[in-house]
Structure 1
């Protein structure tokens, strides 16, 4: 029996548990786990990672929709631009050697680790966010909807497009881009931001997987057990998140991401 059939669901469970405990950011470790454990290159690992993110994020988004936390119009709007640019990311990935691509991915991990650690540290120490100008996308309290205008549309379109490009290029859902952007450009609650980000990731990742399958570069044999494992892990992570989640866990996860980024950097430099 192919070892990947046994290893891939275990890897999926790990990714799912991390997503359940830490939110959308846990999926960023999908590609590194596939690269190190299954010895896949970035181009092959990316669609497999996106299939797991699409499945897990869809469940989270649907739960958020049930609780009226998902801003689905904003999620769909952002995802449209993400789906349009994701094929460009796939094209770039196919034309960049594996070594430099690993270095690009490690840079994204360093950025994500730094942001998560800083935010978790500020939360643990009770440091408030610095004052800022009113964001372009404001929630109408009476209607419970975002008030749309040109600056708001531009900000969300740019965010969705960048998330889609990185989705195709690196095989990530883009939560490390979407969540900070929604915090900057909207006044949504933290829960609503996370759920809306999951909605965007589900749509972009799902579209990216369909594109990958249509072009014949999708390994269904590895992706199916990996995605099912991720879904199971997500449910486990959500079940225990109330006891283990918090700033300290976010800091531990950020340190873990930093360590993975260092490992990918070394691997990428070795392949140059």
Structure 2
């Protein structure tokens, strides 16, 4: 119980510090730290990540940063496609799931380590005038201009996020954040807040689907989930005091080490 609580706090802390994507450590914490199988760890990880993300999303809503219409659209498509991922998770061998998850962690680490070019962009409340993207903010209202192209883009993002979250038990922040940066003109603080809302919604849908399929969460799982919420709150308070680049490098390094260990376990 103590070990589960410790891993939960660490996962929530990382999620709070990184804003999104840190939840990818939840499954390795349960698989490597507590010896669970991938299929047993996935719903508990989703529940923990979703609960912790909800804390951050509520904070973002309070400050008017969440693009809630976009978040609801992405989550709705995630709800439709998440069961597809859950189905394949129960069909694939444990070793294959571990390899897929390890490769995913390597991909996330690579993106974190790559230095990004800083472009001047609009604020979170309009001034969308610095280069056409799929989803642009209206200068008058500060909201997305809901064109067919924008709607289709966000719907496709939701579908992919839903499948991946159901398959590997991750919230999908590592997909949503870079996609929003590439395809919209929302600033980073708005992207993170919106991502956390999507993660919380998609995770909740995935958990409901898993519970409906007969998965049960025991006392260790509950301790992990509760501790992750505590870690998230602490992380949100500390994130402004830690240099962003240090967070990225540290998080990426942890991902690479964990991915290597999971690949080794899969090979053995």
TM-score range, shorter chain: over 0.9
Match of 1:190?
Answer: 188
User: Which of 99, 109, 114 is matched with 2:110 structurally?
Assistant: 114
Which structure 2 segments of 5+ residues have no match? Answer: 122-129
Q: CA RMSD in A?
A: 1.6
Deviations 1:200-231 (A, max 9, x none): 11100001111111111132423221111001
Match of 1:92?
Answer: 88
Which structure 1 segments of 5+ residues have no match? Answer: none
In 2, Cα distance between equivalents of 1:157 and 1:251: 31
Q: TM-score, normalised by structure 1?
A: 0.92
Check the 8 A contact 2:55/2:232 in 1, yes or no. no
Match of 1:136?
Answer: 134
Q: Judging by fraction of residues, say which structure has more helix.
A: 1
Check the 8 A contact 1:22/1:245 in 2, yes or no. no
Moved over 3 A (4+): 127-133
Match of 2:19?
Answer: 23
In 2, Cα distance between equivalents of 1:185 and 1:260: 30
Match of 1:207?
Answer: 205
Query: Per the alignment, in what secondary structure is the counterpart of residue 42 of structure 2?
Result: helix
From the superposition, tell whether residues 80 and 220 of structure 1 become closer, same or farther in structure 2 (CA, over 3 Å).
farther
Please state how far the C-alpha of 1:238 moved relative to its aligned partner: 1.6
Deviations 1:123-148 (A, max 9, x none): xxxx4359995111101132121101
Query: Per the alignment, in what secondary structure is the counterpart of residue 137 of structure 2?
Result: strand
In 1, Cα distance between equivalents of 2:119 and 2:20: 21
